[in-house]
């Protein structure tokens, strides 16, 4: 009897373990725009599609204590600087940057004004000494907060729908990307309509700035026009959008995927924030995903989620049914964020392509995305560039969000900088009048008390050996306060990739009715549609 009981317990236990094993075989949770290999999960690998949320929130008391520590570090830093204690300054800055890198990941902390103030103060001090800290930026943009609210309501299944059917013009179209109207899409539309002042109207205004550029690049790359609405679902068309997962720009690339598609990301520039270059990279990424899945909705899922996760569920569905699934066939199997992501894209596309059908008011158009694109052979500061063009520095910064520091990169080739539309003639005249030493392409640094060659090299992102070589002429370097060091130039091909046909000449660019005009031999912009258009202010997020 006892033996039969033991056998029965073992059998029941085996059934339970088998059921648990079948339930738990899932690929891991998504990370935005990362890429996995094409291989399927190995048999027996146990991972969860929806792991429990990390317990990374802090109590209010602990939050205040950590912020207080940052302010103490700031005070200690000021005291060490006043006492010229170089080693102490270095130690405090390294400690502070490490602490900030940990805290910026904590949910909600980056929105606190006190944290943001001390964050900017400490990172500014670090940048003054070492240059921009790699990938350490505050989350920006309201798109992620919107997605959290929408996705929470979708996951609760709240029955709120103000939408019954598609507009007739959409029902009659055979679109490359299906705009399926089902419960998740209707509820996403209802959520957005309830918050139209906060989301839809600002998006419509930004769309008038950036959509003409996206439409042209997508047409050149052979990507369906409807996918332009993905930029809204990703970032709200905010070039400065930054997620907690360190995805950046209007297409929310993480660094690894951005580099794979040709975007330069270094301490001087981050081309994920460049609307043109990031859009071309996104077009090619989307085409690759469509080639992999053969379905644009599955490609969208792969853009949000790791493509390997989507591939796993496609494979599993084929094994089970013998058929190739649509997105909606594997909808319930995907991670929660990805399940809600495609409905958000669809809802956004329907609403913004038919504003009158949903009683959305006309909004004032955003500024036209138009600029003079000018190669500059010196590592000028933003203030110098703005002064030469006779415009406000804020306009130059808004047109060049990819610049991570306050100056152009010290590049071996001229760096293409965007100037407000129509300002090139003024810039060219003032630039030509600069003394030769100010137009020197190399960057200079005056050695300060307590600085070492290694610290200067770190600040300007060059190898110490190259810095020494550029300043010694083969002799041992003599270190003295006030010494004027030449910073060796670096190779930067980012602008060359997008202007290969320009032959290092200035361009005038205006999207909408796109016109690109080179500069003639006399140095004047050619006349024509672009040259006769009125000047436009640069776009701002």
Check whether residue 374 and residue 513 sit in a common domain: yes
User: What dihedral angle (degrees, nearest 10) is formed by the CA atoms of 472, 477, 483, 486?
Assistant: 40
Do the bridges between strand 415-420 and strand 443-446 make them parallel or antiparallel, or are there none, so unpaired?
unpaired
pLDDT single digits (tens) 304-325: 888 999 999 999 999 999 999 9
For residue 397, what pLDDT band results from cuts at 50, 70 and 90?
very high
pLDDT above 80 for 529:
no
Give the end of a domain, one of 130, 163, 183: 130
The structure's pTM equals 0.69
Collapsing DSSP states into helix, strand and coil, what is residue 518? strand
Q: What are the two backbone dihedrals, phi and then psi, of residue 375, each rounded to the nearest 5 degrees?
A: -75, 130
Q: Which of 380, 429, 430, 426 is nearest to 400 (CA)?
A: 380
Check whether residue 112 and residue 156 sit in a common domain: no
Taking residue 58's Cβ as centre, other Cβ atoms within 10 Å add up to 16
Check whether residue 246 and residue 378 sit in a common domain: no
- The reply to whether 39 falls in a domain is no
Check whether residue 421 and residue 316 sit in a common domain: no
Taking residue 184's Cβ as centre, other Cβ atoms within 10 Å add up to 20
Q: What is the pLDDT of residue 275?
A: 95
From 205-214, 410-419, 445-454, the region with the lowest mean pLDDT: 445-454
The whole-angstrom separation of Cα 534 and Cα 333 is 52
Q: What CATH number did the domain enclosing 322 receive?
A: 1.10.530.10
- The reply to whether 221 falls in a domain is yes
- The reply to whether 363 falls in a domain is no
Give the end of a domain, one of 328, 358, 388: 358
- The reply to whether 90 falls in a domain is yes
Give the end of a domain, one of 130, 156, 182: 130
For the segment 40-53, the average pLDDT, to the nearest whole number, is 31
Collapsing DSSP states into helix, strand and coil, what is residue 174? coil
The whole-angstrom separation of Cα 203 and Cα 186 is 19
Check whether residue 511 and residue 426 sit in a common domain: yes
- The reply to whether 209 falls in a domain is yes
Check whether residue 282 and residue 323 sit in a common domain: yes
Check whether residue 226 and residue 314 sit in a common domain: yes
Q: How far is CA 31 from the centre of its chain?
A: 14
Local structure of residue 273 (DSSP, 8 states): G
What is the span of the domain harbouring residue 504? 370-441+489-532
Check whether residue 351 and residue 377 sit in a common domain: no
The string of DSSP codes covering 312-370 is HHHHHHHHHHSS---TTTSGGGS-HHHHHHHHHHHHHHHHHH-GGGGTPPP-PPPPP-E
Q: What is the edge-to-edge ordering of all strands in the sheet holding 415-420?
A: 415-420, 370-376, 507-510, 515-518
- The reply to whether 225 falls in a domain is yes
Check whether residue 222 and residue 314 sit in a common domain: yes
The whole-angstrom separation of Cα 326 and Cα 298 is 7
pLDDT above 90 for 377:
no
Q: How far is CA 187 from the centre of its chain?
A: 27
| Alpha helix stretches (DSSP H) within 25-112 | 60-82, 86-103
From 240-244, 298-302, 404-408, 423-427, the region with the lowest mean pLDDT: 240-244
pLDDT single digits (tens) 198-253: 889 999 999 999 999 999 999 999 999 999 999 999 999 999 888 777 789 999 99
Check whether residue 237 and residue 376 sit in a common domain: no
Domain count, the chain: 3
Residues 6+ apart with CB under 8 A from 541: 141, 206, 238, 239, 240, 241
pLDDT above 90 for 507:
no
pLDDT single digits (tens) 149-202: 565 655 555 544 445 555 655 555 567 888 888 888 988 898 899 889 988 999
- The reply to whether 116 falls in a domain is yes
Asked whether the beta carbons of 388 and 431 are under 8 A apart, the reply is: yes
- The reply to whether 19 falls in a domain is no
Check whether residue 178 and residue 255 sit in a common domain: yes
Check whether residue 264 and residue 115 sit in a common domain: no
């Amino acid at each position: 009897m006892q033996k039969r009981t033991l056998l029965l317990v073992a059998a029941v236990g085996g059934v339970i373990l088998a059921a648990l094993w079948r339930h738990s075989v899932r690929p891991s949770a998504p990370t935005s725009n990362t890429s996995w290999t094409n291989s399927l999960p190995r048999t027996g690998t146990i991972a969860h599609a929806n792991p429990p949320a990390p317990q990374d929130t802090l109590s209010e008391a602990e939050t205040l204590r950590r912020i207080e520590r940052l302010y103490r570090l700031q005070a200690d830093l000021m005291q060490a600087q006043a006492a010229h204690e170089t080693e102490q300054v270095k130690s405090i800055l390294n400690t502070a940057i490490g602490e900030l890198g940990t805290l910026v990941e904590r949910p909600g902390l980056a929105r606190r004004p006190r944290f943001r103030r001390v964050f900017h103060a400490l990172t500014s001090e670090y940048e003054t000494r070492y240059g921009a800290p790699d990938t350490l930026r505050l989350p920006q943009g309201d798109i992620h907060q919107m997605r959290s609210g929408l996705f929470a309501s979708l996951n609760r299944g709240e029955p709120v729908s103000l939408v019954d059917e598609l507009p007739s013009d959409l029902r009659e179209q055979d679109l490359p990307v299906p705009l399926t109207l089902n419960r998740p899409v209707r509820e996403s539309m209802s959520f957005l309509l309830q918050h139209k002042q906060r989301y839809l109207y600002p998006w419509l205004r930004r769309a008038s700035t950036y959509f003409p550029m996206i439409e042209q690049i997508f047409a050149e790359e052979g990507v369906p026009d409807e996918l332009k609405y993905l930029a809204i679902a990703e970032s709200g068309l905010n070039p400065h959008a930054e997620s907690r997962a360190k995805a950046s720009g209007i297409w929310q690339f993480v660094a690894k995927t951005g580099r794979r598609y040709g975007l330069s990301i270094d301490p001087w520039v981050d081309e994920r924030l460049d609307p043109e270059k990031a859009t071309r990279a996104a077009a090619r990424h989307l085409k690759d995903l469509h080639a992999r899945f053969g379905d644009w909705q599955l490609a969208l899922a792969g853009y949000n989620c790791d493509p390997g996760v989507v591939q796993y569920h496609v494979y599993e569905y084929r094994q089970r049914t013998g058929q190739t699934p649509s997105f909606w066939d594997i909808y319930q199997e995907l991670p929660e964020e990805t399940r809600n992501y495609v409905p958000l894209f669809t809802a956004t596309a329907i609403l913004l392509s038919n504003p009158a059908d949903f009683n959305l008011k006309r909004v004032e158009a955003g500024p036209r995305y138009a600029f003079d694109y000018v190669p500059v052979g010196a590592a000028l500061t933003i203030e110098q560039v703005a002064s030469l063009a006779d415009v406000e520095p804020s306009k130059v910064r808004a047109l060049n969000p990819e610049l991570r520091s306050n100056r152009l990169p010290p590049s071996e080739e001229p760096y293409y900088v965007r100037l407000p539309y129509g300002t090139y003639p003024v810039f060219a005249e003032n630039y030509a009048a600069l003394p030769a030493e100010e137009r020197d392409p190399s960057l200079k640094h005056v050695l300060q008390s307590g600085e070492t060659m290694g610290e200067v090299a770190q600040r300007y992102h060059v190898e110490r050996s190259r810095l020494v070589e550029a300043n010694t002429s083969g002799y041992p370097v003599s270190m003295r306060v006030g010494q004027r060091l030449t910073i060796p130039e670096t190779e930067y091909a980012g602008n060359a990739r997008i202007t290969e046909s320009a032959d290092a000449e200035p361009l005038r660019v205006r999207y909408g009715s796109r016109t690109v005009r080179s500069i003639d031999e006399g140095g004047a912009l050619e006349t024509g549609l672009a040259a006769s258009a009125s000047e436009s202010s640069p776009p701002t997020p």
